[in-house]
Every structure is written in structure tokens, then in C-alpha cells.
Amino acid sequence: MKIEVIKGGLCAVKGVRAYGIKEGNKGLALIEGGGKASGMFTTNKIKAAPVRFTKKQLEKGRISAIIANSGCANSFTGEQGMRNAEKMAELASSCLGVDKEEVAVLSTGPIGVQLDMGLIERQLGEVVKGLTSGEEGSTAAAKAIMTTDTFHKETAVSIDTGNDGQVAICGIAKGSGMIAPHMTTATMLAFIYTDASVDGEVLSGSLEAAVDNSFNMTVVDGDMSTNDMVLLVSTGKSGKISEGDFEEGLTFVCQELAKLIARDGEGATKFIEVKVSGAPSVADARAAARSIVQSPLVKSAIFGERPDLICGRIIAAVGSSVIADDVDLEGISISLKGTKAILAVDNGEFMDFSGVVRIILNGKEIFIDVDLGTGGEAEATAWGCDLTCDYVRINAGVH
């Protein structure tokens, strides 16, 4: 199978139109494109109104449109919040001539504030006029849902299915802070469309696998939002694709979006990728990788470019993960990579690495490879960013 990165964002998918506008910190995006759909949602016990509403909408397994606002999360807003989420679906339904029960609603922004429905209705009128299947439509929608994001996030791929057949899998996302999603069933939102002809079970199974290996392995600050949501819609307007190829392509798209979110972490100056190998199981590898990339001590050492602290803190993070009892202290090895590469810990022994590690930590991309030395063959990768003074300023509201 050949995966080719293409231009066009969501609108590279046959049957999709999109657009969005942003006024100050208040934005609205609309995506039109009907088909089989699946979604994954935050496991935060306090779920925002649009999460609860859209989860119910998806029970039929079909979506015709997505409407999403930024600047207000519509979370912890009681019955009025649910009425407003339903009103957003009604407005989109009326403008597009689609079934209200097939409209997904998403929101992102401050918690505990009611939506300005007058503003949303006015903005929707402008957005509908701009709906397009051109590349600019996807970009406009991606920009409209930004909150503390510093750049919009979109990616698109084309997959060769053989016999000159092509299908597209494309997505947009937002996320910069409050990023530690854990979806087994500032916020992380992602909308992914495909024109591949895929049945509902394959759609759901592939989405769960892709999210587990992408968004669920991305940590900016360790806080889980009340609004996290990933939606996948298939217009079915191109050919069929094997389940394995579809899942691989979808995972690629989700990982590219996840890495963009990590790179745009609030206040971040460095992108971090952590790969853990030699684990007894994939679950163990994931737990260790997330523990490292989520550790404030590891993230702070990387921000401070401290070669004397980084490896000790990585080891502490591994020891605090769920697999700690299985770790062989004399088997752990740690490699650090950037503009240079070095084996910093070899079979439980610290090496002489201070000079080279300082050069590595001075870079904008830090790659950490940890071999747990348990004899296991499982591995996993997580993504994140450093923890900076600017992160605290942003979230303290200090400018």
C-alpha cells in the first residue's frame, strides 16, 4: 500500500464542503458531507453538553454535517447547555437541508459559560455562504476552531488501492493545552473524513485502534478536557479498501494530527517523541511512554536543557508507571537523539554524556528511546512538548 500526502485538507475527500470564520476569540466552522460515522469521546466524568449530544446523535451511525464553535466550551452549563447544543444542530440542519438527527455538534473554549446563540446564528449565515469543496474551505474551518493554538492543523493523504483506484483520508484538528485525552468510547478536537467505502464496524474498529496509537498517546499538560472528541465520517464516494490498509492510513492521519498538537503545546519550545521498547505488553509500553512524556520533571529538564537531570527523571517516570514491578534495573537503556545521538544509559549504567546531551537538548526536537530490558518485544510511542514559563503565564491569564 502506498500512502501519499496530498493537499486539500478535508476538502480533498469527495463529497465534502467546509468553511469557517473567526471573530476575535469566537469562531464557527461547518462541514458538510454525509455518510457512515463513528466517534470517540473524552472519558472525563463531567462531559460537556455537545459531547453528550453528539454521542446520542451517533447512535444511528450516520452524520451529514458537523458544526463546531470556538470561544465557549458549553460545558457545565446545565439544561440550557443541552438546549443550545440542540439549537446548533437545528440551525445547521435548516441551513443545509439535512436531518437534524444527523448533525454533530462540537464546542471548545472556557468552561461554565453559556453560548451566545445570537452570535452563532449570525456567523452561521456567513459560513454557509462560504462553503466550498476547495482547499481554502478546509483551512478556514481549521482556523475557526483554534483557541490558544498558534497554527491551524490539517492533513490529507491519498491511498492507492490497486487497479488505479484511490481513496482519501483527511482531517483537521485543534489542540494546544488541556491535552491528555483518553478516549475509550484549551480541548482536543479532530474531524476526519474519508471517501473510502467502509462498513460501520470497520469504521469504528479502525478509529479506536488509530486513536489509541495517536491522540491517546499525546500529552501536553496531563489535564483531560470535558470536550475531547474525534469524529470519523465516510462519504463512500470512492472505491473499497481493505480493512488493514484503511486502518494503517487512518492511523497515519491521526498520528500526523497528534504530532501537530504536541508541537503546538501551549508555550512549548521543544517537541518530544518518546519510544519505549522491550516491554512485556503493548499496554505496558504505552503506560511507560505516557509516564515519561507526561512527567513535569522530564518536561522541565528538557526546557531547561539540563543534561545532568534528564536521564534520572526519565528513570523516575518509568518507575512510577504501572509496569514498575517488571522493570529490570540493570536492563534499562536510554538513547537521546536530536541534532546528534547518544546512548546515555546502557544496561542500567549511566554513560559519560553531558557534552553531547547538552547539544541534543539545545535543539527543537528531542527523541527519547527507552529499552526496558525486560526481554519483551512490545513497543509504543508517545508525543509531547516541554513545560515552559509561558505555559504557566498562558494558563494563569498573565500577559
In tens, the pLDDT along 15-74 reads 999 999 999 999 999 999 999 999 999 888 899 999 999 999 999 999 999 999 999 999
- For residue 323, the domain's CATH number is 3.10.20.340
Helices (H), ranges, the chain = 49-57, 78-96, 117-130, 135-144, 200-212, 243-263, 282-294, 296-303, 307-319, 354-361, 389-396
The catalytically annotated residue of 42, 148, 155, 187 is 187
Which pLDDT tens digit goes with each residue over 125-167?
999 999 999 999 999 999 999 998 999 999 999 999 876 689 9
Residue 266 lies in a domain: no
Residues near 397 by beta carbon (within 8 Å), at least 6 away in sequence: none
Q: 74-83, 115-124, 151-160, 371-380: lowest mean pLDDT where?
A: 371-380
Which of the 8 DSSP states describes residue 79? H
Containing domain of residue 102, as a range?
2-260
Assigned C-alpha cell, 50: 455537545
Angle made by CA atoms 30, 210, 371, in degrees to the nearest 5: 140
The separation between the first and the last C-alpha atoms of the chain, rounded to the nearest angstrom, is 49
Cβ distance 66 to 229 under 8 Å?
Answer: no
CA Rg, the chain, in Å? 21
Which of 206, 234, 260 delimits the end of a domain? 260
CA 238/CA 234 separation, integer angstroms:
10
In which band, very low, low, confident or very high, does the pLDDT at 262 lie, cut at 50, 70 and 90?
Answer: very high
Which of 211, 234, 260 delimits the end of a domain? 260
Q: How many domains does the chain have?
A: 2
Percentage of residues of the chain with pLDDT beyond 90 = 78
- For residue 231, the domain's CATH number is 3.60.70.12
Instruction: Confirm whether pTM is higher than 0.85.
Output: yes
Q: 55-59, 206-210, 340-344: lowest mean pLDDT where?
A: 340-344
Cell 508555550, located at residue: 267
188 and 333 share one domain: no
In which band, very low, low, confident or very high, does the pLDDT at 179 lie, cut at 50, 70 and 90?
Answer: very low
CA 181/CA 226 separation, integer angstroms:
10
Q: 14-23, 71-80, 290-299, 323-332: lowest mean pLDDT where?
A: 323-332
83 and 214 share one domain: yes
Cβ distance 267 to 394 under 8 Å?
Answer: yes
Residue 265 lies in a domain: no
Residue 132 lies in a domain: yes
Q: Is 54 a catalytic residue?
A: no
97 and 237 share one domain: yes
